[in-house]
């Protein structure tokens, strides 16, 4: 009975947490594209907002914008890094 439990636990662990097929690299590519264009769109909208409403800019507005932009940039960078690692793994 212990061998059956270990086999099923290992089977579940490998299927749930094991490495994915190289075909999933496209997922990381499209996520990095999505994060990049979202970052650019939010960045441009913040520039337009700050140019149009110079007198209404407060510390909280700038801090919120920087937090959103930073999280989008990290999302882009993390997915780009994962895509690069996935593609290199697929070659080797």
On whether the CB atoms of residues 42 and 75 are closer than 8 A, the answer is no
Rounded average pLDDT over 42-64: 89
Quote the pTM value: 0.74
Q: Where are the domains of the chain?
A: 21-91
On whether the CB atoms of residues 82 and 28 are closer than 8 A, the answer is yes
Rounded average pLDDT over 4-24: 74
Comparison of pLDDT for 70 and 21, the residue scoring more: 70
pLDDT at 26: 92
pLDDT at 21: 80
pLDDT at 20: 75
- Secondary structure (DSSP) of 4-71: HHHHHHHHHHHHHHSPPPGGGHHHHHHHHHHHHHHHHHHHHHHHHHHHHTGGG--HHHHHHHHHHHHH
């Amino acid at each position: 009975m212990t061998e059956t439990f270990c086999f099923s636990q290992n089977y579940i662990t490998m299927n749930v947490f094991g490495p994915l097929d190289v075909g999933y690299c496209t997922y990381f590519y499209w996520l990095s594209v999505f994060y990049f264009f979202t970052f650019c769109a939010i960045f441009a909208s913040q520039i337009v907002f700050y140019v149009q409403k110079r007198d209404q800019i407060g510390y909280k507005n700038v801090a919120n914008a920087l937090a959103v932009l930073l999280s989008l940039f990290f999302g882009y960078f993390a997915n780009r890094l994962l895509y690069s690692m996935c593609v290199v793994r697929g070659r080797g």
